[in-house]
Amino acid sequence: AQSVTQPDIHITVSEGASLELRCNYSYGATPYLFWYVQSPGQGLQLLLKYFSGDTLVQGIKGFEAEFKRSQSSFNLRKPSVHWSDAAEYFCAVGSRGAGSYQLTFGKGTKLSVIP
Amino acid sequence: KAGVTQTPRYLIKTRGQQVTLSCSPISGHRSVSWYQQTPGQGLQFLFEYFSETQRNKGNFPGRFSGRQFSNSRSEMNVSTLELGDSALYLCASSLVRDHYEQYFGPGTRLTVT
C-alpha cells in the first residue's frame, strides 16, 4: 500500500529565509506526486505536481520540488519565504487501481514565518 | 471558471442524527472524490465517483455513503452520527483526462455534539 511521510510536524523560518519541506513516499509503481497548501479554515490548493520527465518541477507562488527516485523523496523548496506562506503543507501520492484513483496524504507540515 | 463549491460550510449536529453534505465540481469535471480531515488521522480518502458510479471507497464504515448526479454534483451522507465524525469534509474534482490533478473545495466543517 502507498504511504507518505512528512518527518517535520512544525517548521519555523524567518521571512526571507530559504525553505525546504521534506516528503518521503512509498509506492510500488511510478509515483504521481503532489504538494498542496492549506490555510486555516480553507481547502487545499495545489502547489505543484510531478507525473514524469524533468525531476525538478516548478509550481505556483515561487515553489519548486525535486523528485529523487533513489531516495523516494519529493522535497518542496522556496528560496525566500514570505509571511503569507505561513500555512500547512501536505505532500500526496496518487495511486490507481481497479479503475479508480485516490490521493494518499502525509500528515502535513505546519509552517510558521517570523517577520 | 468557478472552483469547487461545498455546502453548507459549517454544520452542527447531535449524536445519532444524520447529515448530508453537497459538492458541486468545477464545470466540466466529471470525477468527484471525498476526503475526511481530522487532527488525529489527517486526510483520509472516503470515496470517488465518476459517471454516477462509486469507483472506490476508503476504509470507512457503511454509515458513510454518497452519490453522484448526472450533472456531476455529488452528495455524501453520514447516518447515525458519532462524536468521532466531527471533521472537515473535503470534496475534490478532476477532469477525466487529467484525472490525477484534483482540485479541492473549501470543505464543510461538521461538529457532532
For the residues B84-88, what does the mean pLDDT come to? 97
Nearest Cα residue in chain B from A88: B42
Nearest Cα residue in chain B from A44: B104
State the Cα–Cα distance between residues B56 and A95, nearest whole angstrom: 12
Considering only B11-25, B44-58, B69-83, which range has the smallest mean pLDDT?
Answer: B44-58
Query: Which of B50, B100, B107 faces A32 most closely, judged by CB atoms?
Result: B100
pLDDT exceeds 80 at position A30: no
State the Cα–Cα distance between residues A108 and B96, nearest whole angstrom: 27
Residues of B within 8 A of A34 (CB-CB) are 101
Residues of A within 8 A of B106 (CB-CB) are 42-43
pLDDT bin (cut points 50, 70, 90) of residue A41 is confident
* A50, A66 contact by CB (below 8 A): no
Q: What is the pLDDT of residue A20?
A: 98
Task: Find out whether the peptide bond into A115 is cis, omega within 30 degrees of 0.
Answer: no
CB-based contact, A39 to chain B, within 8 Å: no
Q: What is the pLDDT of residue B75?
A: 98
State the Cα–Cα distance between residues A94 and A102, nearest whole angstrom: 6
* Bridging pattern class, strands A24-26 and A3-5: antiparallel
Q: What is the pLDDT of residue A98?
A: 65
Distance from the B2 Cα atom to the nearest Cα atom in chain A, whole angstroms? 14
DSSP B54-93: EEEE-S--TTEEEEE-TTS-EEEEE-S--GGG-EEEEEEE
Between chains, do B100 and A49 touch, taking CB under 8 Å as contact? yes
Q: List, as own/partner pairs, every contact residues A46-52 make where C-beta atoms lie below 8 angstroms and the sequence separation is at least 24, other chains included.
A: A46/B101, A46/B102, A46/B103, A46/B104, A47/A76, A47/A89, A48/A76, A49/B100, A49/B101, A50/A74, A51/B100
pLDDT exceeds 70 at position B94: yes
For B66-76, letters b (16+ CB in 10 Å) and e give bebeeebbbbb
pLDDT bin (cut points 50, 70, 90) of residue B99 is low
Three-state secondary structure call for residue B37: strand
CB-based contact, A10 to chain B, within 8 Å: no
